[in-house]
A and B are shown apart, each in its own frame.
Chain A
């Protein structure tokens, strides 16, 4: 508007000419939002005023819609009377069903009505569709005599016991509900005549004596009584010795229920729940602390594990054996580091699993409920408890033989059986084969050296085991041999370096500052410089580099064996070291690269292990 006015001003037009234009513009303005609201009468739109309408108005767009497929004449539905098989009273209700007959459609409304009544008069559907939901809990039963002989209790009258059983059946073993609704009122009428009938029978009189005030029963009392009766009845029906595993397990659960223990557990659980905010915060803090400590401890363990693995059974690592040359770039190193870190973490998670994970700070429903005793009860109370117990029984071995008998009858137990048949000879043959051809050959040679035939005539399980042990040992031996060769090479390199340095330093004539200058140059830790000075330490630095590489490969196996072997090799290494110094110069170039990357790695790994400890 301002620009129009300016223009008019410039052109010298009268200012008065503006008014009609402004009026036109004003009239045009309210029309603009009006255009947006479509599908609304103009008068209604005007009522909105300048504000947006309180309800979003959507115009139903005319869009393409698939034409409705004609499936013939309209299908008829009728209110079909039916009886429910789960009911005994023959209640007839009506539900809508497709009209069963396919008589041609009547055009007259009255006709339809007549037909409908005809059908509903003649036919009542007998519906068993939902019969499967009509389940009743199975309850232990007992006779009068059994009760008198075994099931009496000083605390529970017969009448109350019956009431209890009724309640449990009514609420299908839902103990909290049973307890909630438990309201036993002893009726005097039923007691008095019985006590008069048997005036001499003291026991009977006692048992039926009304308990003056109705006792308030806790969930544990109720459970204890029911379990006790169930256990006794179970024992009566099946003597203990004849019970099969799952029956016995049930029986054990029933007899081992301890109401006092349960009660204490619940007191603790509710105390845990009723903590106030400060206590919860404190717990949170402590848990965080614990997590930190655990992390540090795990890291320490992992480091030790690595060291031990290195000393005991050097496992060839693809990456390392491929040469550390692949880790020369910083990117590759970073990738390796993150991979190691990940492996470390996942290991920790696995070990920290089970009970209270360090990350858990809040309480969940399962936490309180998953205590062993209540879990067992839950199982018990389940209507299909037999099934679940039967599933458990599959895992439990039924009968144990003494080792001697086992040997005699050649019985062996397996955690898992593979399907199909295998020959012992095949198994032995398979063991001879390694991943690579060279390795297979080497194993073959070693075995030949030991004087073992290519085909073993009677490959019994025992022979198989012995052979397997032997082959693993041979494998280890070969591994160790390989590593030894590599280490020797390194030693030679380092020694040559050392010799060269010594001569340099001597020419420098300043032995005191040697260490500090070295540190500045290589920017690494003490250990690196110690490497150079000390013979015994050089496989330590290497262990760092190497074992980091195979941190995720756990060294398993018989430690003692490996220990012995490891020592042997160590001494061998010492002796061969001097002899092979000649080769130093040739391997120098590659090992220099090796050295550098090793120091970087050791630096990184010590750093990462230090962080959580702070």
Chain B
């Protein structure tokens, strides 16, 4: 609302927008994105991980600040299952509700689960409520968090019917939304790039998915998913650290009190913190993951081609290139040479992935080129060239350095006779939040409002209306 010409209405012919202050919720494995439709970035990006302290009643912690606080006996969990579908519905509801209420709609007053977590909310409230007195007034008589806003949710392409029905049930029963719709992330990511048809390659945290989209509809037979994504790369990095001689210590920030600079490769000179009641292993794992994400952002690189990393002399070439430095939270630091290519190679070449007892060799058909091939194979022959002209790349892990170069190379070797075009938005937010942005566009379109499933329809037909309406 801070645009300079807020006194004039947008030109009718300019865009078919009609904003109804809908909320768009894009839950992912690593983060949950939420915000008002019509805005260009999600206002609220919260981790999907939550803290759990076993007590009676159990104590839950949500939000970026809370889950990185090393409390005694704190466990970090994630409601998503290994199959890429929500497993723990109760906490998933809470995590998502936190993402919505913490910054967008404000809290239900006096909710016991929120006690002690409201520290950051005072100003968060003010931000979301800059609209009018109206919001404040409604806050008083609001019982459920979404009483006033239609909700558009995103779901993975392979979501089960049961899970979708659960989505609408949560939205209607627990949050009291007046209208609901659920759309697949693939379609929305394509919309965010201005495409109604294309192949969407989404490399997130827990899963990589390839989704063929035609005229805004997912071709279900072609949807492919695999577990080779951000977390897989993290595990590869852990293995590199473990197999190094000497082993590279991975100490997360919360364990380090002070550090002094040391030479590259020398043991760390740091004093460490100890806790009377330490947090549990899962907390440490999550903190390590933070360091690894930093490592992915600044060191890891994808072998750009031509050829695979293990082909011919490519490995030798990689060795001759200058390394990249990385410093651990405890001060240990080193240059990383050809290893930095190795950890990401598994995404494209299963044979090149590092293996150990916990991490078996990935399946060949799970690599990204094979996923694309399988997806294209499942599409009607006439549509294939069209789809290959619009390959939309999205998801946090596609930000790996040179990822697109390699993907481009792989697709062009797979399909040398078609015109293949990658569409990878440059700005970081657009790549990470493409599905949310697409949802934001969709839910602010005037023509979309006839698609909402209203509360009345839900009450008439029950949860299975979602199968009929959100096709």
Contacts and interface: CB of A to CB of B under 8 A. Distances in A.
Contacts of A22: none
A71 B450 contact: no
Interface string A127-164: 10110011000000000000000000000000000000
Contacts of A112: 133
A368 interface: yes
Nearest to A91: B454
Interface in B420-448: 446-447
A93 interface: yes
B452 A94 contact: no
B384 A270 contact: yes
Interface residues of A, number: 58
Interface string A166-177: 000011001111
Contacts of B133: 109-110, 112-113
A276 B101 CA distance: 53
B358 interface: no
Contact of B7 (A75, A133, A269): A75
A174 B382 CA distance: 12
A187 B323 CA distance: 64
Interface residues of B, number: 48
A181 B379 CA distance: 12
A95 interface: yes
Q: Which of A89, A93, A266 has the most CB of B within 10 A?
A: A93
B222 interface: yes
Contact of A176 (B19, B150, B379, B447): B379
A368 B219 CA distance: 19
Contact of A93 (B215, B222, B416, B449): B449
Contacts of B383: 176
A374 B449 contact: no
B16 A89 contact: no
B88 interface: no
B457 interface: yes
B420 to A, nearest CB: 10
Given A87-B450, A177-B214, A273-B418, A266 B178 contact: no
B447 A277 contact: no
Given A272-B417, A273-B417, A363-B418, A134 B382 contact: no
A606 to B, nearest CB: 40
A180 B219 contact: yes
Contacts of B380: 175-176, 179-180, 219, 266
A180 B221 contact: yes
A170 B385 contact: no
Contacts of A117: 137
B386 interface: yes
A129 B446 contact: yes
B266 to A, nearest CB: 23
Contacts of A175: 380
Contacts of B217: 171, 174, 177
Contacts of A95: 18-21
A129 B17 CA distance: 11
B178 A180 contact: no
Interface in A246-292: 266-267, 269-270, 272-277, 279-280, 283
Given A130-B447, A171-B217, A180-B220, A363 B417 contact: yes
Interface in B15-31: 16, 18-21
Nearest to A270: B381
B456 interface: yes
B134 interface: yes
Contact of A181 (B16, B134, B220): B220
Contacts of A180: 219-222, 378-380
Contacts of A219: 380
A280 B416 CA distance: 7
B387 to A, nearest CB: 9
Interface string B75-104: 000000000000000000000000000000
Interface string B171-199: 00000001100000000000000000000
A133 B9 contact: no
B124 to A, nearest CB: 21
A86 B450 contact: yes
A275 B417 contact: yes
Q: Which of B133, B417, B457 has the most CB of A within 10 A?
A: B417
Contacts of B137: 113, 117
Interface string A85-115: 0110111111110100000000001101100
Interface of A: 71, 74-75, 79, 84, 86-87, 89-96, 98, 109-110, 112-113, 116-117, 127, 129-130, 133-134, 170-171, 174-177, 179-181, 219, 266-267, 269-270, 272-277, 279-280, 283, 362-365, 367-369, 374
- Top 6 A-B pairs, shortest CB-CB distance: A86-B450, A133-B447, A91-B454, A176-B380, A365-B385, A130-B446
Interface of B: 7, 9, 16, 18-21, 132-134, 137, 148, 150, 178-179, 214-215, 217, 219-222, 378-386, 389, 413, 415-419, 446-447, 449-450, 452, 454-457, 471
27 contacts: A79-B132, A86-B449, A87-B450, A89-B456, A91-B178, A91-B449, A93-B179, A113-B132, A113-B133, A116-B132, A129-B446, A130-B449, A134-B450, A174-B215, A176-B380, A180-B219, A180-B222, A181-B471, A270-B381, A273-B385, A274-B415, A279-B417, A280-B416, A363-B417, A364-B385, A364-B419, A365-B419
